[in-house]
Amino acid sequence: MQPLPTAIIERSERRVGSTVRRKYHLDALLGVGGTAAVFAATHRNGSRVALKMLHPELSSISEVQTRFLREGYVANRVRHAGVVRIIDDDDDDELQTVFLVVELLEGGTLAERTAAQGGKLHPDEARDYIVGVLEILEAAHIEGIVHRDVKPENVFLTTADELKILDFGIARLLDGTGATRSGQLLGTPAFMAPEQAGGRVREVDARTDVWSAGALLFSLVAGRPVHVARSAPEQMLFAATHDAPRLRSIVPSAEPELAEVIDRALRRDRDERWPSADAMRHALLSVRLPDR
């Protein structure tokens, strides 16, 4: 992943303390990504929210702006408390950007949790997180929504021990109303299913998220991605053309039952994977693991 330009980070930092649309005071910068910056903010009525602001240089690109704003409408279709609520969307001519008003979360990402534990988690803890992820994904799939970017940075653990899935910005609607073009590659290479990495958009369905959930669990247990590569393009090539390694070939001490669940989720042939997020969730719940 390419580092963010310093100018984008500095511009985001300078915005702290300013007011957006004469009603949202930007209290703190929570993070800066490739498409947007996220701020903790206070509305003039005293309510606390987060503002996710599209970078100005991207706001002028119609397709990017449409996909960014679409995130709110997609996320709000999912009837599960594990999906972050999008409260509103708006634009600011002075800042030359559009933004989403989002439920403010307190806590940290699964990526941060894993890094604090030395790069991997106890299998029991990792399993529990993925069980929660799969429950939320199943709720999305029921609404015909495939997330397509399940990764540690998009799993949030609140201070109240709630699990949330972030960023439905590149989700695909299976009813055909998605905003992305056929063949367009969106997602994170290390967690892309074979059909997604290969640009076969018509093959993307709930089992694509099942593969990504399996890849996430694999990485939490093994401390490395499914496919180790020298670059993002090579990682996508491996995902599209190579079978995933068996978990126990990387972690010989892994419980056989857990390895079987993960290995099945990571099959290159979609028809050989778990048929749904719910099926994989129940399989994980039946696995006996030693206590932490």
Same-domain status, 94 and 113: no
Average pLDDT over residues 148-168: 93
Of the chain, the end-to-end C-alpha distance in Å amounts to 33
Same-domain status, 136 and 234: yes
- pLDDT on residue 176: 47
Lowest mean pLDDT among 140-144, 158-162, 176-180, 190-194: 176-180
**149: annotated active-site residue:** yes
Same-domain status, 92 and 154: no
**Last residue of one domain, picked from the residues 47, 67, 102:** 102
CATH number at residue 249: 1.10.510.10
CATH number at residue 11: 3.30.200.20
Among 27, 91, 128, 149, which one carries the catalytic annotation?
149
Distance (Å, whole) CA 274 – CA 264: 7
Same-domain status, 97 and 112: no
Record the tokens describing residue 187, joined without a space: 């997602």
Same-domain status, 149 and 235: yes
CA distance to 170, 187, 205, per residue, from 148 (Å): 7, 6, 9
Residue 195 falls inside a structural domain: yes
183 pLDDT above the threshold of 50: no
Look at residues 289, 268, 147, 167 and name the one whose alpha carbon lies nearest to residue 221. Answer: 289
Distance, CA of 252 to chain centre: 28
Average pLDDT over residues 193-216: 95
Distance (Å, whole) CA 166 – CA 15: 23
Same-domain status, 97 and 119: no
Same-domain status, 51 and 122: no
Residue 290 falls inside a structural domain: no
CA-atom Rg of the chain in angstroms: 19
Domain that holds residue 91: 6-102
Lowest mean pLDDT among 55-69, 133-147, 205-219, 253-267: 55-69
Look at residues 158, 50, 156, 159 and name the one whose alpha carbon lies nearest to residue 109. Answer: 156
Same-domain status, 117 and 174: yes
Same-domain status, 133 and 231: yes
What's the total number of domains in the chain? 2
Residue 291 falls inside a structural domain: no
